Chain A
Amino acid sequence: MDVKLSGATASDVERAAVATVLGPEPPQAGRVVRAGRAQREQRHLLLPALHALQDSVGWVSRGAVDHLAERLGVAPAEIYGVASFYHLLATEPQPALAVHVCDDVACRAAGAGALLGQLGEAVQRSACLGLCDRGSAALVRRSGPPGERIDVAVAPVTALQVAGFLGGEAPPELAAADIPPPQAGKPGLRLLRRAAGEVITTVDDYEAAGGLAALRRALEQGPDWVLAEVKAAALVGRGGAAFPTARKWEAVLRAPSRPHYAVCNADESETGTFKDRVLLERDAFAVLESLAIAGFATGSEHGFLYVRDEYPLARARLQAAIEALRQAGWLGAAVGGPGFAFDVELRRGAGAYICGEETALFNSIEGRRGEPRNKPPFPVESGLFGQPTAVNNVETLVAVLEALRVGGSASTKLFCVSGAVVRPGVYEVELGTTLQALIELAGGLQPGRRLQAVLLGGAAGSLVGPSRLDLELSFEAARAAGLSLGSGAVVVLDESLDLSEVVLRIARFFREESCGQCVPCRVGTVRQEEALRRLFSGRPLGSREDELVRLSDVAEVMRDASICGLGQTAAIAVQSALRGLS
Chain B
Amino acid sequence: MALAPFVTSDHYVSVQAYTQAPREVAIGIIRRALGSRAVASLTSPHTVDHYLEQVHPMLTVALVRARVVDVRRETGQASTVVLRANGAWSGFRPGQHVQFGVEVNGTRKIRCFSVSSSGARPGNRFSVSVKAHPDGYVSQFLHHRLRPGTLVHLSQAEGEFVLPSPVPDDLLLLSGGSGITPVMSMLRTLRDTGHRGRVTFLHYARSRADEMFADELEEIAAAMPSARIHRVYTRRPEDAARGGPSGRFTAEHLEQVGVDPARTPSYVCGPAGLIAAVRAAYDELGAGAMLHTEYFKVPSVDPDAADATGTLTFEDSVASAENSGATILEQAEAAGLTPAFGCRMGVCNTCATRKNHGAVRHVISGAVGANTDETIKICVNVPVGDVNVAL
Q: Are chains A and B native binding partners rather than an unrelated pairing?
A: no
